[in-house]
Chain A
Amino acid sequence: MIGERSHVMIQGITGREGAFHTKQMLEYGTKVVAGVTPGRGGASVEGVPVYNSVRDAVSKHPQIECSVLFVPPAFAFDAALESIDAGIRWTIMITEGVPIRDSMWLINYAKSKGCKILGPNCPGMIVPGKAKMGIMPSIAFSPGRVGLVSRSGTLTYEAAFTIKRSGMGISRAIGIGGDPIIGSSMLEMVQFFESDQATDAIVILGEIGGRMEENVAAAISAGQVRKPVVAYVAGFAAPQGKRMGHAGAIMDEGQGTAKEKLESLRSAGANVAERTDDLPRLIGSSLNKKR
């Protein structure tokens, strides 16, 4: 897993968002060593050297382990492909609005190359007090022993801030992204936290649609997750989403409602929160029970 010692590259570093968040990441302590914007090689952003291509950046900074993408949807495919083909282990796709065909192809390709994608449409990852590879506002996070995995960016900040004010903190928060097809699943990240020495309890923040939350519930039921899991799912008041012809029913995707998801997590033994401000109490009580 990437962390505070990882060397980070920013793709789209000279853009408005890229430059802004590069500064924020540097201030937070992240080792941002290089940036890429085609045609802007030789420039520098916040003291970080800019290269024309990922290949150029990697030849000068061979230790780069992670690339964070701030590239518009129409160019995100090429940018991510460039990162994967340069052998960068983690590609974090912040970009919102990437076509599913592109992200699905990239995710399968990355897998075949032994690389990981986080996102797209995600806020990235933060190890509070140490480093962030993404866009999380630092103010929301304090260091601690709760692992957080979320399908929603802003909901991650909301939950982390509530946890911070209760006096607890976060070991690592991972925003996996809100798209139907994403590179790192909720379950994979829960499994990471299960084996992570710095984490005592796991918080998952879900959303309506798909089966990510149900898959975590199944793993808990199967005894694969021993650390306490606290869950919140957004979308009780939301109108029902579109249905994918008959195929949705045949694929057994279920309706993916907030209620269904919360019920399956509850019956698997997770502590479920009805509201985000209820998370700290549930984390506290589940940790006490464990002791």
Chain B
Amino acid sequence: MRLFEHEAKSILREYGVPVPNGLTYSLGGELNLGSLRSPFYVKAQVPVGGRGKAGGILLARTEDEVIAHIKRISGLMIGGHPVSSILIEESHVIEKEFYLSIVVDRTLECYTLIAGSEGGIDVEQSSRMSPETILKVPISPLREIRDFDISAISMHLGVAPALLKPIVHALWGAMVSMDAELVEVNPLILQGQRLVALDSKIQIDDNALFRQAAISSLPPRGRSAEEAAAFSQGLNYVGLDGEIGIIGNGAGLTMATMDLVKSNGGRPANFLDLGGGALSESFKRGVLFLMALDRVKAILINIFGGITRCDEVARGIAAAVAEKGYKKPVVVRLLGTNEPEGRAILEAAGIGAFSEPAEASSRAIALAGGRT
């Protein structure tokens, strides 16, 4: 889960990283700049990057300008996301900009500390053009950050270890105790004898939300209204714009089913992975959820049962189709654990099951009105 900038900054502040003075303005609320000093930055809060280029970050010198900027920014859609709130911060004089982050390194299977001597919005470009500006320090999850790690970064950035140490330890502390996949400050600026994090990104591991109560209680974000509705029903769902509703078990098979529909000339309406070991109730919920979407003309369910049992799948589908007011055709491909029981349940409900995914997908496309 991607945190908004203001959420990330309040976490960093808690861990001891200096961030600009600021306040979070909720759309439609009262504006009270209080003791904030001009000039201000007015920053759109969206769960994606590229805000600056989309006009989501503006400088204001007076309160009137702040109000005008809020008006302009609050109507923006940035990367498909409406602006949820606005952060208003004191601006800072920048002497030197750095990049600093800790990330889960998939390749090395450890944490990696990344320090860039040229931070700011162009850090990706400078890392490509001048790789020597970037230092990567792998840190085993079995240990803590030590002074020699700090010293390496200090040499690379040309910043005194005493200044860096509390910042790096704070990022590390947040990374580990918050179950983050990424803690990034960019730019981290030097102002006199002080480092300040002007912007920050934190990404929390969704698998860890069960033990991150403070994070899991935050409002959902980065999802369309449809996806948020699916999420609230416990469905692992991504909306697309086609007409064939897709349900699979396991991300790989679900994606392969979408690929198959696409290569046969149909268009997937969604990705819905009910996962391993799903019970009948999830299948019922999934089918009913897709049925309720206007654009869905037919539903294709592709199940290869391993830990998922075909009888559970069939019971859920049969229960959904038996609901009052159920319409839309369902095409099922069923194979694997407890398959005969599953087939019998579907048969009793008047639903035929295919064993070939290609046949099932062609049938679903035909029922949805043919190739597009």
Contacts and interface: CB of A to CB of B under 8 A. Distances in A.
Contacts of A107: 109
B339 interface: yes
Interface size grouping (class) on chain B: 35 or more
Contacts of A239: 238, 240, 271
B101 A123 contact: no
Contacts of B141: 101, 104-105, 108
A274 to B, nearest CB: 7
Interface in B247-266: 248-253, 255-256, 258-263
Nearest to B107: A211
Contact of A250 (B124, B259, B337, B358): B124
A1 interface: no
B205 interface: yes
A136 B306 CA distance: 5
Nearest to A276: B256
A109 B142 CA distance: 7
Contact of B252 (A21, A98, A151, A215): A151
B284 to A, nearest CB: 19
B179 interface: yes
Main secondary structure of the interface of B (DSSP, over half): mixed
B110 A108 contact: yes
A27 interface: no
Instruction: Find the residue from A97, A136, A234 having the highest chain B CB count within 10 A.
Output: A234
Contacts of A155: 250, 252-253, 256
B106 interface: yes
The size class of the interface chain A forms with chain B is 35 or more
A253 B268 CA distance: 27
A24 B306 CA distance: 11
A154 B301 CA distance: 13
A74 B256 CA distance: 30
A242 interface: yes
B112 A237 contact: no
A237 B181 CA distance: 26
B277 interface: yes
Contacts of B208: 99-101
B140 interface: yes
A246 B109 contact: no
Interface in A222-259: 232, 234-239, 242-251, 253, 258
Contact of A153 (B107, B110, B276, B303): B276
Given A140-B336, A180-B106, A234-B259, A100 B205 contact: yes
A232 B252 CA distance: 11
Contacts of A136: 306
A77 to B, nearest CB: 11
A213 interface: no
Q: Which of B303, B305, B306 lies at the interface centre, i.e. has the most chain A CB atoms within 10 A of its CB?
A: B306
B32 interface: no
B59 to A, nearest CB: 22
A189 interface: no
Given A100-B205, A250-B116, A154 B258 contact: no
Interface in B162-204: 176, 179, 181-182, 184, 186, 201, 203
B307 A94 contact: yes
A275 B260 contact: yes
A190 interface: no
Interface of A: 17, 21, 24, 73-74, 94, 96-101, 104-105, 107-109, 112, 123, 135-137, 139-140, 150-158, 161, 178, 180-181, 205, 207-208, 210-211, 215, 232, 234-239, 242-251, 253, 258, 274-277
12 contacts: A96-B277, A107-B109, A108-B141, A135-B276, A140-B304, A154-B304, A158-B357, A237-B262, A239-B240, A248-B103, A250-B116, A250-B127
| Top 10 A-B pairs, shortest CB-CB distance | A152-B252, A154-B250, A154-B253, A155-B252, A99-B208, A237-B258, A234-B255, A137-B336, A247-B103, A237-B262
Given A101-B205, A154-B304, 7 more contacts: A96-B276, A99-B205, A108-B110, A137-B305, A154-B253, A246-B123, A251-B114
